[in-house]
Structure 1
Amino acid sequence: MGKKVLVTGADGFIGSHLAEELVRRGCDVRAFVFYNSFNSWGWLDESPPEIRKELEIFAGDVRDPHGVRQAVQGCDVVFHLAALISIPYSYHSPDTYVDTNVKGTLNVVQAARDYGATRVIHTSTSEVYGTAKFVPITEDHPLQGQSPYAASKIGADQMAMSFYRSFGTPVTIVRPFNTYGPRQSARAVIPSIITQIAAGKRSLRLGSLHPTRDFNYVKDTVRGFIAAAESEAAVGEVFNIGSNFEISIGDTVSLIAEIMGVEVKVDTDEQRVRPVKSEVERLWADNTKARQVLGWEPEYAGRDGFRRGLAETVDWFTHPENLRRYKAELYNI
């Protein structure tokens, strides 16, 4: 409360929810959004007016070290969420993932070191674990880059932590498992399912149904970020932010269809299927460390919590003004 806080990627899915919650908690928030000629602030354009007027908007690009330095200057806490996140697009354009995710992270931690930020919360992803070698997955699980995206995030994590080890930069790594909720990109499976059903489709086009995921509602993810920033014991540490509940994509389809009151079947769309050795077959978070060190635990836990989160997500996506932003008929890589 009262801190000057920078959120990179504040125009995105998780970043916009985080920036809004920080404003509600009394923080002075500088929101780093991706510069564009439309002067779009991404999802922050949809923020309530009373929150939007409290935000200091900084338009730039994390790939540019000079702009990043300007954004970081004067900030006590840096939440670094800006990244390229689509796995299919990382097969298409892997070089951009190195520039944005690895070099962008270097720019952030370098600026934070130079300007003396008191905390840097760096965003990882459960994809860095690859297919689980043991479950539930602890923070000590081996890292496996099974896609260019995952490899770039491993590199970004290592870059961030190297600054803690080399220079004492107060870095904490938050590793969310599959976050879902209002505003999520249609590239993700849950919005893809919901928007296809909401558009009237009863034969859904999806990729593999057998992999399992640990879905984490966005409100829980945001609380995890803030808990990490508030804990002095979190410096130099990595934390899984997950629900500790495993469910297959196929069962997720069934649950969403049940919530939406429809019957559906699934047709496999080959362009949505990952290469065999690139598919992450199983993700299931052990969140013990976050519970013990951060005092964080998911409020949308287990099957009942997942159902509640999905119901809130469905309610948002099926609102006509929200649904029209999505192209349910297309595969978004």
Structure 2
Amino acid sequence: MRILVTGGAGFIGSEYVRMVLTGTGPRLAPSAVTVLDKLTYSGNLANLDPVRDDPRLRIVVGDVCDPAVVDQAVAGHDVVVHFAAESHVDRSIHSAAPFITTNVLGTQTLLDAALRHGTGRFVHVSTDEVYGSIDSGSWTETWPLAPNSPYAAAKAGSDLLALAYHRTYGMDVVVTRCSNNYGPYQFPEKVIPLFVTNLLDGGNVPLYGDGGNVRDWLHVHDHCVGIALVQDKGRPGEVYHIGGGTELTNRELTARLLTACGADWDRVTPVADRLGHDRRYSLDITKISEELGYAPQVTLERGLAETVTWYRENRAWWEPLKARLGGEGTWRPDVPTR
């Protein structure tokens, strides 16, 4: 089996690549893995260093929106696992165009190439943010989409495109939607690595609004295990939720990170709430659990402890990235990132 992984040098994509090549998840046993990544600000070849010497790995630097590059990359592969996306909500609020271009047009370009080459399976990796916000209970896979940010709207559009290619052309497409990921190699603009690295450096951390927004936290390895299960046994044309099973308010998460880093609440700076900030996300994972045997294995206690340790021991990885962001690593539109 030959697998093409788009965005394979990013946070989640690189975890998937490391997992399938080292056999630390479901045994997919690929004969070849090709990474297609544009290497924008959050793509990092260092994320693949643990498997760079594997003879099955090939890296192609290119844009999923480039039809010629995509056509060559897709040719000869049995499976496409599509991670490549613009994903930072704050950036999408400041400038939506790159999100529409990459997330929607890039997905369409890949789907066209996969259809043309008769690719066996197309796994489209998406997010719980496409549903908007939920006050109580949990979303099932049939819940109507109601995205509130430009990022979420772009992902919802790409989901619908992927499913349309199944229904129109009979392509073997499956869609996964995950809750908030965390773990090693996550770019330090996202909340957990941002907070941890700021605290390790003696800096402060910004807490949006009243800190009452609720997220379900999923370790990146558990997410990739779920993706592999869907890739291997998921039903064509279906959507599968992959969640972690631990919901926390942002304030509760902040408290855990302060404790893990030996810091106090005087290091927390309240900031104005994000525009259109969804109050709560919650995925029902019954379908993937019953059909495919998925169950998250990394508890939040263990996962956060290991994540903090990883960032403490890998300054050489994140310090240059934060230097590009400027200041304490909080993204601002006036700070260049490349």
TM over 0.5: yes
Deviations 1:173-224 (A, max 9, x none): 01111011111122211111111110112x4223231100001001101101
How far apart in 2 are the matches of 1:134 and 1:70? 46
Residue 19 (structure 1) aligns with: 17
How many residue pairs align between the two structures? 318
Within the candidate set 305, 313, 316, 2:310 is matched to 316
Distance 1:83 1:324, change over 3 A: same
Residue 42 (structure 1) aligns with: 45
How far apart in 2 are the matches of 1:96 and 1:162? 23
How far apart in 1 are the matches of 2:241 and 2:280? 15
Paired residue secondary structure (1:214): strand
Query: Which residue type is aligned with residue 220 of structure 1?
Result: D
Residue 175 (structure 2) aligns with: 173
Query: Which residue type is aligned with residue 329 of structure 1?
Result: E
Within the candidate set 194, 198, 220, 1:218 is matched to 220
Q: Which 4+ residue blocks in structure 1 deviate beyond 6 angstroms?
A: none
How far apart in 1 are the matches of 2:294 and 2:306? 21
Query: Which residue type is aligned with residue 31 of structure 1?
Result: V
Within the candidate set 61, 72, 85, 2:87 is matched to 85
How far apart in 2 are the matches of 1:259 and 1:132? 29
Within the candidate set 89, 93, 110, 2:112 is matched to 110
How far apart in 2 are the matches of 1:134 and 1:108? 36
Deviations 1:93-142 (A, max 9, x none): 21111110001000111111111111110011111011115422221222
Within the candidate set 62, 65, 68, 1:66 is matched to 68
How far apart in 2 are the matches of 1:23 and 1:234? 24
Paired residue secondary structure (1:124): strand
What are the equivalent positions in structure 2 for 1:118-137 lying under 5 Å apart? 118-137=120-139
How far apart in 1 are the matches of 2:51 and 2:60? 18
Distance 1:137 1:87, change over 3 A: same
Deviation at 1:158, TM superposition (A): 0.3
How far apart in 1 are the matches of 2:142 and 2:177? 12
Deviates more, 1:178-187 or 1:129-138: 129-138
How far apart in 1 are the matches of 2:194 and 2:78? 38
Query: Which residue type is aligned with residue 33 of structure 1?
Result: D
Residue 306 (structure 1) aligns with: 300
Give yes or no for the alignment of 1:151 onto 2:138: no
Query: Which residue type is aligned with residue 217 of structure 1?
Result: H
How far apart in 2 are the matches of 1:75 and 1:310? 36
Contact 2:9–2:39 under 8 Å retained in 1: no
Contact 2:207–2:251 under 8 Å retained in 1: no
Deviations 1:253-305 (A, max 9, x none): 111122223323321123xx311xx11100122111110112111002xxxx1
Residue 274 (structure 1) aligns with: 274
Residue 336 (structure 2) aligns with: none
Residue 32 (structure 1) aligns with: 36
Contact 1:194–1:256 under 8 Å retained in 2: yes
Distance 1:79 1:258, change over 3 A: same
Residue 331 (structure 2) aligns with: 332
Query: Which residue type is aligned with residue 325 of structure 1?
Result: P
Query: Which residue type is aligned with residue 32 of structure 1?
Result: L
How far apart in 1 are the matches of 2:260 and 2:90? 28
Contact 2:187–2:193 under 8 Å retained in 1: yes
Deviation at 1:44, TM superposition (A): 3.7
Deviations 1:60-103 (A, max 9, x none): 10111121111110000100000000111111221111110001
Contact 1:122–1:172 under 8 Å retained in 2: yes
Paired residue secondary structure (1:325): helix
Deviates more, 1:256-265 or 1:186-195: 256-265
Give me the identity figure in percent.
33
How far apart in 1 are the matches of 2:37 and 2:121? 20
RMSD: 1.8
Contact 2:3–2:77 under 8 Å retained in 1: yes
Give yes or no for the alignment of 1:161 onto 2:163: yes
Q: Structure 2: 5+ residue runs without aligned partners?
A: 24-28, 333-338
Contact 1:177–1:242 under 8 Å retained in 2: yes
Relative to the length of structure 1, the TM-score reads 0.90
Distance 1:279 1:61, change over 3 A: same
Contact 1:204–1:264 under 8 Å retained in 2: no
Residue 335 (structure 2) aligns with: none
